[in-house]
Structure 1
């Protein structure tokens, strides 16, 4: 069977790689690219399409508008195609509903259906020689198919962060927020008590959604901070979502990057928008007035142990108040982890690289902390053997918060700019490959 080697092979076809497909079409190179996506069709945050949830992003910072106002793939063109532009403007809404923006993204994805194989989950990434003796990437999918590419674009999104002590308890009743709707809907005919871990926008949206469900008897919100804090939405702070900030951030030493990310954390993490905070405070006040304990908030608290039942009983959570160092327990039928995603790093909650890169780990260039070196163009150039005629590059599309700053944390605002950076690099002929001095095993 003929081995088809794609010049550009993309893993994942969410908003990040969709935006890249848009610009490759603009420059006439779309035929060079092929993508595989594990979902059976295009989807974006389907598990978190909650009633009233918006995107927290100016909708005109979309897949193409900042770069090409004439693109057929802008949010405005989507609204116009549906005859909905006037209605949308009449809403006077700051941000569109998440459901509407998801429909826009799916509308654009429909134009690229020929470039995507859906229902193909990447299981393993390795290297092998093609028919001409040149190294190429080989991706094996869960169903045993193989895809080959000269350059790889990794656009899978970051790995969910599962804090201690929950990894051993994951299953139908303990799950990350990325599985929220399908998992919680399985309990629609059961009377349940739910614990939500985390103080993020996702956490407060989930708490509000749970309180709208008549089968949820009790909701306990557990977080290490004082409560749901207001997100820093100052235009000055939100410069982190501009390309200029990436230029500023990328060359900084690793220790300085960590400090700066901690300083700026409230712009995007463990913080919420004013509207959802107001909604929850109102609900809490209503419960106080009628003497209901259906909603319980546990600030300054962390879960230290989980007693997972062998049958169908509740989970017993042992909780520690982090300031007074007191302990108590809570029984919950369902535990939801709204705990965010892993970054590349050395802390207990980080991973050194995406798990799919394990098969090429011996070829990754590493910094002094053992983290892969990622260029400003989002590329990792693999260490090369002396016989290599060209360098192999893996582009990380939407995985680089640790190296490129908060704008790379799945933020819709940076999609177009990042895709432009990657496309410019892809279309620049690479310099001849040189053997990496530290990679003696290949000599």
Structure 2
């Protein structure tokens, strides 16, 4: 480990859609500039990939392609989804689909295409473990990042502006968390490789594997349907706490909560009103399913009634109150809260489609705690630090839903948010460089 780490002006931790959009915004803002701050983005994955484990056949995006990495900020940008289609020679064919929602596989390919343009400033396979303060005269002067490179060697980096967009941590609630490390239990974020590790290759003979999916949102139903299709002999249970699967509300007036202007409305509202606004719109994003998928899944359950052959079961008002290893499977105790009954069932694979946890201040930033004036970011996603030099800034992406609204963890306004963060950082850089510029000769 070097004692004098290389210094970049701007470092982004994580190189998913949020920081990829920031890379584009910074590049656009610096085009033609005489002085260009140095950039570096660090990504723990070995190569670019967005939700690889959920690239399910037939799964579409839940947002319009117009809400890509750039168009809401600059519809003329060469990084638009439309230009991606043009470059791939698929623009006319995509138009013939008559849809605003590309497949998840195609959207991932679009993101990877955009990321390729920044291969010179993106470092893959590098994990940041902690961010520590560097002080000068008692003031925060820089950030020192400690971590490991792709070969596992210790790595030090240093920067003045830091943007953290590392994504959420899989939320695995009790009692499932006690089985962490058991290959038969997985989170939705690890579904495709996880189900293969738990069940192996699909077979048309032999025992019927039992699969339990826990969750009531889009991912849960997609996984339940995919698991049954992927393993044609599988028996699939979908356990939900509520009495029914609920459709996502994507009506026009409600959908305005995902407009860039909604961030101001939410952020500027008094705190109790802000919480009410977010709660009133939860049916747009949490524990809800696209109406067409609900219709299709209901039809599948009805066809089972007609044929008398049951492979899928919707376990309504059901909680898993205990789960433990039992031979080659996992023995779950399921409670039906309406009927007041409990039963035991052994499963060969259990998938928790239970969302993500996002701390207001990610754990890697704890060494900076003495300089944090608050746990929440300002309107431009900047975490206030003091005492700190003017040229130092810390921005967080994806953790500020309570203050900025439902768009914070989604793709809806990525380019607008990226533009705001880029502008804040570059304004600070320009001001700092102007302050140290020698006075002009008389």
Asked if these proteins are the same fold (TM beyond 0.5), I'd say yes
Residues 134, 245 of structure 1: alpha-carbon distance in 2 compared, 3 angstrom cutoff: closer
Residues 132, 359 of structure 1: alpha-carbon distance in 2 compared, 3 angstrom cutoff: closer
Q: Give per-residue Cα distances to partners, 1:377-425, cap 9 Å, x unaligned.
A: 01102232xxx4337432112222122110112x222111111111121
- CA distance in 2 between counterparts of 1:412 and 1:394 reads 21
Residues 301, 365 of structure 1: alpha-carbon distance in 2 compared, 3 angstrom cutoff: farther
Match of 2:28 among 19, 26, 29: 26
Q: Give per-residue Cα distances to partners, 1:58-97, cap 9 Å, x unaligned.
A: 1012111122222111001100001110000011123110
What residue number does 2:55 align with? 49
| DSSP-derived class of the 2:295 partner | helix
What residue number does 2:438 align with? none
CA contact (8 A) 1:54 1:95 kept: yes
| DSSP-derived class of the 1:297 partner | strand
| DSSP-derived class of the 1:308 partner | strand
CA contact (8 A) 2:216 2:287 kept: yes
Deviates more, 1:24-33 or 1:135-144: 24-33
Are residue 39 (structure 1) and residue 41 (structure 2) matched?
no
Residues 356, 328 of structure 1: alpha-carbon distance in 2 compared, 3 angstrom cutoff: same
Residues 271, 393 of structure 1: alpha-carbon distance in 2 compared, 3 angstrom cutoff: same
What residue number does 1:217 align with? 234
Shift of 1:32: 2.2
| DSSP-derived class of the 1:40 partner | coil
| DSSP-derived class of the 2:377 partner | coil
- CA distance in 2 between counterparts of 1:282 and 1:188 reads 29
What residue number does 1:374 align with? 377
Shift of 1:151: 1.4
Unpaired runs of 5+ residues, structure 1, are 344-350, 367-371, 433-443
Match of 1:342 among 341, 357, 369: 357
Unpaired runs of 5+ residues, structure 2, are 203-207, 433-442
Shift of 1:303: 1.4
RMSD: 2.3
- The total of aligned residue pairs comes to 414
What residue number does 2:420 align with? 421
What residue number does 1:153 align with? 163
Whose Rg is larger? 2
Deviates more, 1:244-253 or 1:71-80: 244-253
Q: Give per-residue Cα distances to partners, 1:208-261, cap 9 Å, x unaligned.
A: 101102365211101111222111011111111111111011133444333332
Are residue 119 (structure 1) and residue 125 (structure 2) matched?
yes
Are residue 236 (structure 1) and residue 246 (structure 2) matched?
no
Within-5 A mapping of 1:256-271: 256-271=273-288
- CA distance in 1 between counterparts of 2:77 and 2:360 reads 37
Residues 333, 203 of structure 1: alpha-carbon distance in 2 compared, 3 angstrom cutoff: same
TM-score normalised to structure 2 length: 0.88
What residue number does 1:346 align with? none
TM-score normalised to structure 1 length: 0.88
Within-5 A mapping of 1:305-344: 305-309=322-326, 312-343=327-358
What residue number does 1:436 align with? none
CA contact (8 A) 1:381 1:392 kept: no
